[in-house]
Amino acid sequence: MKTITVFKGDGIGPEITDAVLSVLKAAHAPLEYDIYNVGEAEYEKNGALIPDAGFDSFERTKVLLKSPITTPIGKGFRSLNVTLRNKYNLYANIRPAKSNTAVHTPFSNVDIITFRENTEDLYVGVEEQIDENTVHAIKIITRTASERIIRDAFEYARQHGRHKVTCVHKANILKLSDGLFLSVFNRIAEEYSDIESDDKIVDNVCMQLVMRPETFDIIVTPNLYGDIISDLTSGLIGGLGLLPSMNVGTDYAMFEAVHGSAPDIAGKHIANPTALLWSACMMLEYLKEDTVAAKIRQAVDKVLQDGHILTPDLGGTAKTEEYTQAIIDNL
């Protein structure tokens, strides 16, 4: 039995965590759970966003299932997500977006996985007030960080039978920083002659993603573009409620939905737990529990295909609990 750490975050975090844990338990996932409250509410109660015991637990289990945390905008503490990614060197953020039959979007053939570099770029959070009217923000790109995410993207493509890796950048303007990322990509691509590779400028990619998403397979890109583009890919498949992710490094792995704490719907019992549930499936696959992951994925697919019991973001009227129960009934 493997123990994993679970962080219940803010907003819809606790609701979707409860839903996911009930599915994992019903599916007999061979897991034990070390559960902590984290985020704003925890800070107000106990003076720490993540209790020390929560960090200790993650350092023991090395696997974290995390629900979203509210980050103050333009003030206050640094994003806890960015902190976790840096503290545990979770350098690869992998975000798969795949069409499904439940949600009618103009696209039925999206199958894109974004590999986002997760530790540097503008997200190092180094900003400097030059004078009252001027602020500088530092963008950092290193060869080491670029190499490991790009290599991971190609390795994934090879191991999973994917045919193409596209490098997304803005090297026409950021000639040194994105230029370095692109030159590393071109060099590594030569080692993977069995996989098609190309590169595209990020603004062009945004247009092409909404015109011809089927032409993309795996995207590898620095931090900021990866953050934005992967949300765009969630829009292609029916919204943020359907986009899971894993953040992985050499020693630790953290699994979370791409969406935030959705304060606008918190407590209304209408949050869609699928993104966190699919993140949990990625976690099970990472733990080599593929059979349980497949069982859960099939149950979700069945509920989505039936289309009778769906949360409002997918056009239905079901509560989170009803949707969760429908998945459990289909296990």
Q: What residues are annotated to the active site?
A: 123, 170, 203, 227, 231
Using CB under 6 A as the binding rule, whether residue 71 contacts ligand NAI is answered as yes
Beta carbons within 8 Å of 83's beta carbon, 6+ residues apart: none
Using CB under 6 A as the binding rule, whether residue 264 contacts ligand NAI is answered as yes
Residue with tokens 């950021």: 174
Residue with Cβ nearer ligand NAI (171 or 265)? 265
Using CB under 6 A as the binding rule, whether residue 81 contacts ligand NAI is answered as yes
Using CB under 6 A as the binding rule, whether residue 119 contacts ligand NAI is answered as no
178 and 211 Cβ atoms separated by less than 8 Å:
no
Minimal CB distance to ligand NAI: which residue?
260
Task: Choose one: 91-99, 110-118, 253-261, 297-305; the region binding ligand NAI (CB under 6 A).
Answer: 253-261
Residue with Cβ nearer ligand NAI (184 or 304)? 304
Member of 262, 280, 282, 300 binding ligand NAI (CB under 6 A): 262
Using CB under 6 A as the binding rule, whether residue 235 contacts ligand NAI is answered as no
In this structure, what are the phi and psi dihedrals at residue 22, rounded to the nearest 5 degrees?
A: -70, -35
326 and 318 Cβ atoms separated by less than 8 Å:
yes
Strands 2-8 and 63-66: parallel
Using CB under 6 A as the binding rule, whether residue 277 contacts ligand NAI is answered as no
Member of 15, 199, 289, 313 binding ligand NAI (CB under 6 A): 313
Residue with Cβ nearer ligand NAI (184 or 254)? 254
Residue with Cβ nearer ligand NAI (200 or 259)? 259
Using CB under 6 A as the binding rule, whether residue 309 contacts ligand NAI is answered as no
Cα torsion 303, 304, 307, 312: sign: positive
Write out the DSSP string of 210-227.
HH-GGG--EEEE-HHHHH
Using CB under 6 A as the binding rule, whether residue 241 contacts ligand NAI is answered as yes
The letter for the amino acid at 33 is Y
Report the alpha-carbon distance of residue 151 to residue 112 in Å, rounded: 17
Which residues face 2 on adjacent strands?
31
The CA dihedral of 71, 72, 78, 79, to the nearest 10 degrees, is 10
Report the alpha-carbon distance of residue 125 to residue 127 in Å, rounded: 6
The letter for the amino acid at 58 is F
Residue with Cβ nearer ligand NAI (277 or 292)? 277
CA distances for 166 relative to 107, 115, 150, 163, angstroms: 20, 10, 10, 10
Using CB under 6 A as the binding rule, whether residue 271 contacts ligand NAI is answered as yes
Task: Choose one: 67-75, 154-162, 195-203, 216-224; the region binding ligand NAI (CB under 6 A).
Answer: 67-75
Task: Choose one: 62-70, 160-168, 182-190, 296-304; the region binding ligand NAI (CB under 6 A).
Answer: 62-70
Please work out the total of residues on this chain that contact ligand NAI, with binding judged by CB under 6 A.
Answer: 20
**Residues of this chain that bind ligand NAI (CB under 6 A):** 12, 68-71, 81, 240-241, 256, 259-265, 271-272, 275, 313
